[in-house]
Amino acid sequence: GIKVEQVVLQDVNPPDPVKGAFNAVNEAQQEKETLINQAKAEYNKVIPHARGQARETIEKAEGYATARVNNAMGEATRFNLLYQEYMKAPEVTKNRIYLETMQRVLPKLGGKIITDQDGSNVLPLLQMQVNSKAANN
């Protein structure tokens, strides 16, 4: 048997009464192909970009979540170690934590005096700042 794969019309001259309709059909087919090609081009431009943005957002969120979990685990470990030290020597640990906190906070206060609510007791403060001139001698 014979199998026809393709028919190509090179020079088509429709009769005058149907020429307008024939041309309209050809133009419609060409416009259809043009619109399909434009849509495919837009799809190929927009969709990969949107997928890339979505992937980037997901990766940022996953990175943020991992950082938060790792930070929380580190804080929990630090707290557990501090608690173990506290259980060994509660008073020493409380004093050490107090002094470390004062060392961090007091330089920000400047020349202020810290008292209780009544103003009758001044909180015990130690000299936390090292004099740079004395340290060099």
**Domain edges within the chain:** 16-110
This model's pTM is above 0.85? no
Residue whose C-alpha is closest to residue 98's, from 129, 71, 126, 78? 126
User: What is the band of 59 on the pLDDT scale with cuts at 50, 70, 90?
Assistant: very high
Residue 114's pLDDT band, with cuts at 50, 70 and 90, is low
Beta bridge partners of 115: 122
